[in-house]
């Protein structure tokens, strides 16, 4: 992990973003204290997509419960 002062981070922001894109995690310091972390964005396609597909598959296998005793128009009554 790399640390950098806030002023330097401001001046070198583009290069910090390139480093983060390569997987580097950078901690930004202000007056010696950590105030922010810049790192690679998480990809939502992997784990999240698999979890969504698993949930949908399970929901499709379940039997519906209860009866619907309302109509679509009931939702929009004023």
Dump pLDDT digits (tens) for 50-77.
Answer: 899 999 999 999 887 777 777 888 888 7
Q: Would the pLDDT of 27 be above 90?
A: yes
Which positions ≥6 away from 9 have C-beta within 8 Å? 16, 26, 28, 38
Query: In this predicted structure, what is the pLDDT of residue 75?
Result: 83
pTM of the entire structure?
0.55
- Chain centroid offset of residue 15 CA: 23
User: What's phi and psi for 23, nearest 5 deg?
Assistant: 105, -5
């Amino acid at each position: 992990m790399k640390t950098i002062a806030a002023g330097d981070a401001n001046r070198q922001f583009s290069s910090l973003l390139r480093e983060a894109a390569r997987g580097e995690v950078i901690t930004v310091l202000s007056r010696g204290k950590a105030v922010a972390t810049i790192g690679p964005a998480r990809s939502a396609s992997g784990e999240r997509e698999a979890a969504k597909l698993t949930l949908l598959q399970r929901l499709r296998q379940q039997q519906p419960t209860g009866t619907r005793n309302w109509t679509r128009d009931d939702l929009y009554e004023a």
